Structure 1
């Protein structure tokens, strides 16, 4: 059975790279351009994992994680925080909000596949 990954990032090029990489490995990828849209999508299709950027309009990554973790649909769903910020304070905020792991941008396709593969088995 195919696993669904929700990719939330305001950069269309990052979403495209994530989608091409994960789709090529057998995952289904659903995209959202910001945290608010990500919450709407998460309500309608329960993803097997979420990848979220931090700096986005309307609702940032930490805000998304906090709201997502309040939803029943988030139970057992790993969330990977993706950011250009490697500051331990931001990473700790994401962890406290409910992030399972993080990836620092820029990242390569192998790193993405490795992280997702550890969290979601096809």
Structure 2
């Protein structure tokens, strides 16, 4: 990558955020994190990510609802979004597909898979 691709991670768990940040930064990504929707919207506007990674189970709204909002907004509809959750993979796949997410990953598969999925999605993006 000539220029580091930017990934914005939303999760209400600080541990998940830091693990995600570590894995992605080790792969050469520039990473911003948010613990809640207010932080997410602030970072979204100023950080301008190439990809969004969102947890599904959060207090303010589900990740699937966030995916739907991002995909309906002209300013963010082109940003790939990955739904990331501890839900069983079959349920997570259904939720992600119905919401219009570009990918999904069960936390049960391990954080290592996160980097591979992000690499694959970023590789498909034409910059």
TM-score for both structures, normalised by structure 1: 0.86
CA drift at 1:89:
4.8
CA drift at 1:36:
4.6
Q: Tell whether the 8 Å contact from 2:70 to 2:77 is kept in structure 1 after alignment.
A: no
| d(CA) in 2 for partners of 1:21, 1:70 | 29
Ranked by relative contact order (alpha carbons within 8 Å, sequence separation 6 or more), the top structure is 1
Q: What does 1:58-73 align with in structure 2 at a 5 Å threshold? A: 58-73=60-75
Q: Tell whether the 8 Å contact from 1:82 to 1:103 is kept in structure 2 after alignment.
A: yes
| d(CA) in 1 for partners of 2:96, 2:58 | 14
Structure 2 alignment gaps of length 5 or more: none
| d(CA) in 2 for partners of 1:78, 1:59 | 19
| d(CA) in 2 for partners of 1:97, 1:36 | 21
Which deviates more from structure 2 when the two are superposed, residues 14-23 or residues 66-75? 66-75
SS in 2 for 1:15: helix
Q: What does 1:36-75 align with in structure 2 at a 5 Å threshold? A: 36-75=38-77
Summarize the Cα distance change of 1:23–1:89 in structure 2 as closer, same or farther, 3 Å threshold: closer
Summarize the Cα distance change of 1:107–1:34 in structure 2 as closer, same or farther, 3 Å threshold: farther
Report the count of equivalent residues: 121
TM-score for both structures, normalised by structure 2: 0.83
| d(CA) in 2 for partners of 1:25, 1:93 | 27
Aligned residue for 1:31? 33
Aligned residue for 1:8? 10
CA RMSD of aligned residues (A): 1.9
Q: Tell whether the 8 Å contact from 2:32 to 2:47 is kept in structure 1 after alignment.
A: no
CA drift at 1:87:
6.0
